[in-house]
A and B are shown apart, each in its own frame.
Chain A
Amino acid sequence: MSRIETELKTSKENGTTMNEMTTSGASTAVTERPLGLETRGVHAWFGSHHVLSDINLQFPERSVTGLIGPSGCGKSTFLRMLNRMHEFIPSAAMAGEVLMNGNDIYAPEIDAAAMRLKIGMVFQKPNPFPAMTIRENVLSGIKLANLKVSNHDDIVEKCLSRAGLWKEVKDRLDASGGSLSGGQQQRLCIARSLAVEPTILLMDEPCSALDPGSTLRIEETIHELAEKITVVIVTHNMQQASRVSNYCAFFLSDGGPGVLVEADATRKMFTNPTDTRTADYVQGKFG
Chain B
Amino acid sequence: MPQKREMHVVYSLGDRIFRRIVTAGALTSLIVLALIGLFLFARGAEIFRDMGFKFITGVKWTAGSEDGTAAAEFSIGPMLVGTIIVSFIALIVALPLSIAGALFIEFYSSQRLKRLLISLLDLAAAIPSIFFGLWGIQVFSSMAERWSYLLNSYMGWFPLFSNEMQVFGRSPFVAGLVLAAMIAPIITSISREVYSRTPRELVDSCYALGGTRWGAIRAVVLPFGRSGVLGGAMLGLGRALGETVAVYLILNLVFAYNFNILEAQGGNIASLIATRFGEATAYELKGLLAAGFVLFLLTLTVNMIATSVVQRTSKDRS
User: Hey, which bits of chain A sit against chain B, CB under 8 A?
Assistant: 83, 85, 88, 90, 113-117, 120-121, 123-125, 127, 129-131, 140-141, 143-145, 178, 189, 192-193, 196
Contacts and interface: CB of A to CB of B under 8 A. Distances in A.
The 4 closest A-B pairs by CB, nearest first: A117-B210, A144-B211, A141-B209, A121-B208
B204 A116 contact: no
B219 interface: yes
Interface residues of B, number: 21
Q: Is the interface of B mostly helix, strand, loop or mixed?
A: helix
Interface in B209-224: 209-212, 215-216, 219-220, 223-224
A130 B318 contact: yes
A144 B208 contact: no
B207 A130 contact: no
Interface of B: 111, 199, 201-202, 204-212, 215-216, 219-220, 223-224, 317-318
Given A127-B201, A129-B202, A130-B317, A113 B207 contact: yes
Nearest to A146: B215
A193 B219 contact: no
Contact of A192 (B207, B209, B223): B209
23 contacts: A85-B207, A88-B204, A90-B111, A113-B210, A113-B212, A116-B210, A121-B208, A123-B201, A125-B201, A127-B199, A129-B205, A129-B220, A130-B223, A130-B224, A131-B223, A131-B317, A140-B209, A144-B211, A144-B216, A145-B210, A192-B209, A196-B209, A196-B210
A116 to B, nearest CB: 5
A119 to B, nearest CB: 8
Contacts of B111: 90
Given A129-B220, A131-B317, A144 B209 contact: yes
A196 B207 CA distance: 12
A121 B206 CA distance: 10
Contacts of A131: 220, 223-224, 317
Contacts of B317: 130-131
Contacts of A90: 111
A123 B204 CA distance: 9
Given A90-B111, A131-B317, A140-B219, A193 B209 contact: yes
Nearest to B210: A117
Given A85-B208, A113-B210, 6 more contacts: A88-B204, A127-B201, A127-B202, A130-B224, A130-B318, A140-B209
Given A127-B202, A178-B318, A141 B211 contact: yes
Given A90-B111, A145-B215, A83 B220 contact: no
Contacts of A114: 210
Contacts of B208: 83, 85, 116, 120-121, 123, 193
Nearest to A145: B210
Contacts of B210: 113-117, 141, 144-145, 196
A23 B18 CA distance: 66
Most chain-B CB neighbours within 10 Å: which of A114, A121, A125? A121
A144 B199 contact: no
A123 B205 contact: yes
Contacts of A88: 204, 207
A88 B207 CA distance: 9
Given A123-B204, A131-B223, A145 B211 contact: yes
B263 to A, nearest CB: 43
Contacts of B224: 130-131
Most chain-A CB neighbours within 10 Å: which of B205, B210, B220? B210
